[in-house]
Amino acid sequence: MSVKTFSAQVVGLKADIVEVEMDLARGLHSFTIVGLPDKAVEEAKDRISAAIKNSGFESPQSKNQKVIVSLAPADLKKEGPVFDLAIALAYLLASDQLDFEVEKKIFLGELALDGKIRPIKGALSLVKTAKQKGFEELYLPKENVKEAALIRGIKIFGCDTLKEVAEHLDEKINFNLTPSPETEIVVEEKFFNTDFQDIMGQETAKRGLEIAAAGGHNLLMVGPPGTGKTMLAKAFTAILPPLSFEEILETTAIHSVAGILEGDFLTQRPLRTPHHTSSYVAIVGGGNYPKPGEITLSHRGVLLLDEFPEFEKRVIESLRQPLEDGSITVARARGTINFPAKFIMICTMNPCPCGHKGSRTKECVCSQASIQRYQRKISGPILDRIDLYLEVPQVEHEKFLANAPSGDSSQTIKERVARARNIQRERLKKIKSPKGLPILTNSEMSNKELKAFAYLSEPVAKILNQAAKSLDLSGRAYHRTIKLARTIADLGGEENISEQHILEALQYRPK
Ligand SMILES: Nc1ncnc2c1ncn2[C@@H]1O[C@H](COP(=O)(O)OP(=O)(O)OP(=O)(O)O)[C@@H](O)[C@H]1O
Ligand SMILES: [Mg+2]
């Protein structure tokens, strides 16, 4: 007898529905899974047989029969243990141990030997697809239920054991599971270790970070060792506005697919701090079954590249595409996969390998050649994509012992940033990026929006053009300067970009 149940698998950040067909035939016992299974799917046979037996049913091994499972579509490589539950239920159906209507129901979950259902990766993406494809009931591990119930309009059942699901489905027994309520988003106040107020001096850098947060601009901090660069960068996420509901869905889906979701869903903007020894694939994403890399994990948040020139050259250059398009294309055997990668990049570096070039008090011991080699690792095209070049010099020592807080608190800065972001959101609300994502900040504007929303009066344009000529700005740098000036004006709550805004923006151009 042949039966069919439904499951799904993550592909990139999306998902594909997988049909689990089961056929039982007379003959010597065998259990075969076809349809491009990987090792984890292959091993499902033993897990499923044990789970079925330990749930009080007759296991496939207890009879002389040929069990054939086909996972369709056959040309999609099947990965991981997510199909276990659907395969086990298909067997119970095929062997007449269970009877239920399979249509519009989808099953996700790995089985433990004792019949318990183990959590899965990528639940949010899977549920989204199931809903789009018209499924009405979705069964998945209890641990994933809150994440899954972020999607409205499909009944989500959290399950603990195979036995529980089987009893619920079998019409002869009463339903014992109730659908999960829609997940409510509660954002807990996160405790940040460093407040902007605790960082002494560094007024220029703090102003730069505020502008970057307001408009979503990339920045580079350059200064000698121990002046607070890493400290500033880590304090940065605390001044960013909270994630919107749409952004929570986007970021949670990514972190869930990568298997690094902490809690049920993301409530804070991600801050990723990959080490400079990280591999190309770890940063960019990829692999046999492509997984998102650090640049995608920092989507809608911050990518902190501390000690920037120490990163592999290939890694640094790979940032070009995401910094321009807000996404990254990862090549794989069959076609390509596109991952979103809209992040604010914060890089830190010393001015030279010893760190003291340009210092008034310490002598630089680096040779000219080694300084050049160090600085050359950050190529022109990368510098061109950085809007704010901030010097972080040595702070006068007396300031460290001062009792008074240094400048505004993170909370005060956050409020100013939120006001500037609101202005931008209102202005850009009807615009969508070519990939269909909403545009939220000035840095994401294309040249078309720039013309519409960042008008420069004649005298202001003249100043910019003169400066662009003497600084030999590229077309990209020219446009980026206008976007930065737009953000500076928004922070000041001003409608028009003035001479002062342009001059401040120019002052941050990489030297
Ligand atoms: N401006 C500052 N205000 C308060 N503390 C500071 C400041 N600058 C440095 N410190 C102290 O020095 C420590 C090191 O700072 P941090 O790691 O940010 O330096 P850095 O600029 O990143 O140095 P490196 O170039 O070596 O990475 C901090 O943990 C803090 O205790
Ligand atoms: Mg540092």
Cβ of 346 below 6 Å from ligand 1? no
Q: What is the pLDDT of residue 355?
A: 87
pLDDT level of residue 376 (50, 70, 90 thresholds): confident
CB 341 within 8 A of CB 327: yes
- Exposed, middle or buried, 278 (CB in 10 Å: 0-12/13-18/19+)? middle
Sheet strands (E) in 27-141: 30-34, 65-72, 105-107, 110-111, 117-118, 137-141
Q: What is the pLDDT of residue 391?
A: 92
Going by DSSP bridges, is the β-strand pair 110-111/117-118 parallel, antiparallel, or unpaired?
antiparallel
Cβ of 230 below 6 Å from ligand 1? yes
Place of tokens 């689990």: 20
Mean predicted confidence (pLDDT) in 456-463? 93
| Whether residue 1 has pLDDT greater than 80 | no
Q: What is the pLDDT of residue 32?
A: 93
Angle in degrees, 0-180, between the axes of helices 203-215 and 410-428, rounded to the nearest 10 = 30
| Whether residue 64 has pLDDT greater than 90 | no
Sheet strands (E) in 282-393: 285-286, 291-292, 302-305, 327-331, 336-340, 344-349, 388-391
SS3 call for 181: coil
Residue type, 276: H
Mean predicted confidence (pLDDT) in 197-225? 94
| Whether residue 336 has pLDDT greater than 90 | no
Kindly report, as residue ranges, where domains of CATH 3.30.230.10 are found in the chain.
2-169
Cβ of 228 below 6 Å from ligand 1? yes
CATH of domain 2-169: 3.30.230.10
Q: How far apart are CA 292 and CA 12, in angstroms?
A: 8
Q: What is the pLDDT of residue 379?
A: 84
Best residue among 227, 306, 396 to mutate for probing ligand 1, ranked by most atoms within 8 Å of CB: 227
Q: Given the CA of residue 224, which atom of ligand 1 is nearest to it?
A: 25
Q: What is the pLDDT of residue 189?
A: 65
Q: Whose CA is nearest to atom 24 of ligand 1?
A: 225
Q: What is the pLDDT of residue 191?
A: 67
Cβ of 197 below 6 Å from ligand 1? no
65-115 residue pLDDT tens: 999 999 999 988 898 899 999 999 999 999 999 999 999 999 999 999 999
| Whether residue 264 has pLDDT greater than 70 | yes
38-60 residue pLDDT tens: 888 888 999 999 999 999 999 99
* Tokens representing residue 264 in the block: 């049920």
Quote the ligand 2 centre to 358 CA distance (angstroms).
Answer: 18
Q: What is the pLDDT of residue 334?
A: 66
Residue type, 415: E
311-325 residue pLDDT tens: 999 999 999 999 988
Q: Within a 10 A sphere around the Cβ of 261, how many other Cβ atoms?
A: 22
For residue 82, the number of C-alpha atoms closer than 13 Å in the C-beta half-sphere is 28
CATH classification number, 196-444, choose in 3.40.50.720, 3.40.50.300, 3.30.360.10, 3.40.640.10: 3.40.50.300
Q: Within a 10 A sphere around the Cβ of 277, how many other Cβ atoms?
A: 9
CB 71 within 8 A of CB 35: yes
Q: How far apart are CA 49 and CA 179, in angstroms?
A: 28
Q: How far apart are CA 309 and CA 229, in angstroms?
A: 15
Angle in degrees, 0-180, between the axes of helices 44-54 and 84-94, rounded to the nearest 10 = 60
What residues are paired with 110 via a beta bridge? 118
Give the distance, in angstroms, between the CA of residue 492 and the centroid of all CA atoms in the same chain: 31
What residues are paired with 107 via a beta bridge? 139
Q: Whose CA is nearest to atom 6 of ligand 1?
A: 228
Spatial CA neighbour of 269 closest among 233, 310, 297, 293: 297
Q: What is the pLDDT of residue 400?
A: 80
Q: Given the CA of residue 234, which atom of ligand 1 is nearest to it?
A: 18
Mean predicted confidence (pLDDT) in 502-507? 95
Q: Give every strand in the sheet of 105-107, ordered side by side.
A: 105-107, 137-141, 155-159
Mean predicted confidence (pLDDT) in 466-491? 93
Give the Å distances, CA to CA, from 188 to 264, 267, 296. Answer: 13, 8, 24
pLDDT level of residue 506 (50, 70, 90 thresholds): very high
The answer to whether the predicted template modeling score (pTM) of the entire model surpasses 0.85 is: yes
Q: Given the CA of residue 202, which atom of ligand 1 is nearest to it?
A: 1
Q: What is the pLDDT of residue 283?
A: 95
Q: Whose CA is nearest to atom 14 of ligand 1?
A: 226
Quote the ligand 1 centre to 278 CA distance (angstroms).
Answer: 23
| Whether residue 218 has pLDDT greater than 90 | yes
Mean predicted confidence (pLDDT) in 470-477? 90
Kindly report, as residue ranges, where domains of CATH 3.40.50.300 are found in the chain.
196-444
Cβ of 395 below 6 Å from ligand 1? yes
Residue type, 61: Q
What residues are paired with 191 via a beta bridge? none
Quote the percentage of the chain above a pLDDT of 70.
Answer: 97
| Whether residue 174 has pLDDT greater than 70 | no
Cβ of 405 below 6 Å from ligand 1? no
Q: Give every strand in the sheet of 30-34, ordered side by side.
A: 2-11, 14-26, 65-72, 30-34
pLDDT level of residue 482 (50, 70, 90 thresholds): very high
Spatial CA neighbour of 272 closest among 298, 244, 311: 298
Mean pLDDT of the chain: 91
Cβ of 206 below 6 Å from ligand 1? no
Quote the ligand 2 centre to 42 CA distance (angstroms).
Answer: 47
| Whether residue 175 has pLDDT greater than 80 | no
| Whether residue 252 has pLDDT greater than 90 | yes
* Tokens representing residue 199 in the block: 């960082």
Q: What is the pLDDT of residue 88?
A: 96
pLDDT level of residue 281 (50, 70, 90 thresholds): very high
Q: What is the pLDDT of residue 173?
A: 61
Cβ of 226 below 6 Å from ligand 1? yes
Q: How far apart are CA 19 and CA 71, in angstroms?
A: 6
Q: What is the pLDDT of residue 91?
A: 96
Give the Å distances, CA to CA, from 467 to 220, 301, 473, 507. Answer: 21, 32, 8, 10
Cβ of 202 below 6 Å from ligand 1? yes
Quote the percentage of the chain above a pLDDT of 90.
Answer: 65
Q: What is the pLDDT of residue 172?
A: 59
Q: What is the pLDDT of residue 431?
A: 81
| Whether residue 306 has pLDDT greater than 70 | yes
